[in-house]
Every structure is written in structure tokens, then in C-alpha cells.
Structure 1
Amino acid sequence: MMIPQSVPNTQVWLLGREYLEAAEILLDYNRFQSSVILAALALEIFLKSFLAVRDGKGNSATSKLHPLMELFNKIEVADRDEIKRCSKELDSLVDFESNLGKFDRILVAVILP
């Protein structure tokens, strides 16, 4: 039986944070391609932290979906609105949803040149 967890799931969120920190370190060493891949994976994990549930053993389980827009659209509307609101506070010129699509395309282009 799957049990809903707090949103976002802290365990999953912290994993995303580790990927983002690794991406930032690689960027400091001009490892752009690897940094982009890890940043995209971090974004995917952050989105999945809103969808995580506990399995029957009490472990966090997340969706197997990978496309960022599909993951984002599975998040509850109130949480999506909050994500977009926070994104606007960080940078009013950034359209969060359109950038998700760009990240999907960038990830495919970087992994499959």
C-alpha cells in the first residue's frame, strides 16, 4: 500500500540538492556538459519530491516518468502554482514552465549528440 508523504518529500528533495551541488562544482571547473546533465537530473528529482509516496516497507518511491513537463503536470495544482510563484520571486523574467521544456530538449541534445 502506498502512503502519501509530506510535500515535498524531504528525503527525495535532499537527493536533488546533492545533484545540484555536484552540478555547481562541475561548472566551477568548466565541465559544462556534465553540469547540465546533473542540473537537469536535480530538477527532475526536485519535481519528483512532490510526487513521492511511501511503499509498503516505508521507503520513498517516486514516479518512473522522466519528461519534466509530464512530472510537473502530475503535481497538485496548488503546489504547481506555488512553484511558479516562487520562481517568479527569484527571477521575474523566467517562465518556469517554458524552461522545463527547454531543459528536456537540452538534456536529450547533451546526452545524444
Structure 2
Amino acid sequence: MPKLMLPSLEVIEEGRSYLKSALVLEQTGGTNLWRPACVLAGFAMELFIKSFLAEDDSELADTVNGIDIYSGAVKSARGHYLDELFQKITPEWRQAILDTSERLSPGYPLEQKLAEFSGYFFNARYGYEAASIGIMRMEVLDVAEHLERVCTELLTKVYKSL
């Protein structure tokens, strides 16, 4: 069975693509694009957190000359709320995330920010619904960028230790 390193590079890369898309929307300057930018940033943060919850989901595709060949895939915990997902991460990884956040930006209240923007992906997608987040805060993009830097730092440490 293939070994999956945490945080998962594949999941982080996917999160980066959503974050970059959010930043492009923000930079166009149109306020009608702010909600989609915030939703994408919220989804990017969800993926960054899920990179620490990833599991190998490969399936044996074939065996050739006694060597197992797998069709690779990754899966992760279900859920959309950032604070709840963060609590599902092992205590060791949670502490590493918080320590890295603190080192990169002393005093940055990462857990508080994850709680504040917890539902930005799930509860802001449909602005016309009564239960939707009414006023979007563009700060969510800054939080997503910070979390991406934390993931990059931890990812670099994991791969350097190999």
C-alpha cells in the first residue's frame, strides 16, 4: 500500500488553486465578485486543514512481475466547518500548526480566525438564502494566505526530513 505523507501535498495544491482564484477575483476590483472570492478562500482553508486529515485511498490496479501497482487517490475527513475540522487533526499536528503560525506571525490568533470564518465556504455560497452569511469580510483572504504559508512551512519540514 502506498504511504501518504502529512500534510498531503495533493490536498495543499488543490487548496492553493482555490486561494489563487479567490485572489484573482479580489484583484479585479468588482464588489460583485467579493462573495465568490470569500467562498473560494473559505474552501481553500478547508482544504489546507484537510491536508492534515488526508488518508491514502489507493486501490490495487494490477500486479506485474510480483510488484503491486496502485491507482493513487487521497481522501479526507468530511465536513466544512473550519474549527470542527481543525479539532479532528491530531494534537501533535494541531500544535505544530499553531507553533508555525506563531513563528511566522507572532500573536496571530489562528484558532480564533478559523472559528470566525468557519462557515465561509458552506454558509456563504448562496447569498440569496436567508441563512447565508450576510456581510462578507475580505479578511478571510488574509487568513487563507496565512494558513497556506503555515502549510507550506510544515510541508517543507516534512520533505526535508526524508
Q: Tell me, yes or no, whether TM beats 0.5.
A: yes
Q: Which runs of 5+ in 1 are unaligned?
A: none
Normalized per residue, the structure richer in helix is 1
- Paired amino acid for 1:91: S
**Corresponding residue for residue 46 of structure 2:** 44
**One of 81, 85, 90 as aligned partner of 1:67:** 81
The Cα shift of 1:8 comes to: 0.5
What TM-score do you get using the length of structure 1 for normalisation? 0.86
Distance 1:89 1:110 in 2: 33
Percent sequence identity is 32
Q: How far off its partner does 1:94 sit?
A: 2.1
* Structure 2 segments unaligned to the other structure (5+ residues): 60-71, 127-131, 135-162
Cα drift, residue 92 of structure 1: 2.2
**May I ask how many residue pairs the two structures share in their alignment?**
112
Q: Which amino acid aligns with 1:12?
A: V
Cα RMSD for the two superposed structures: 2.0
What does 1:87-102 correspond to in 2, within 5 Å? 87-102=101-116
* Structure exhibiting the larger radius of gyration computed from Cα positions: 2
Give 4+ residue runs of structure 1 displaced > 3 Å after superposition.
none
Question: Is the Cα–Cα contact under 8 Å of residues 88 and 94 in structure 1 kept in the other structure?
Answer: yes
Moved more, 94-103 or 54-63: 54-63
1:1-113 aligned at under 5 Å gives the runs: 5-30=4-29, 31-57=33-59, 58-107=72-121, 108=123, 111=126, 112=132, 113=134
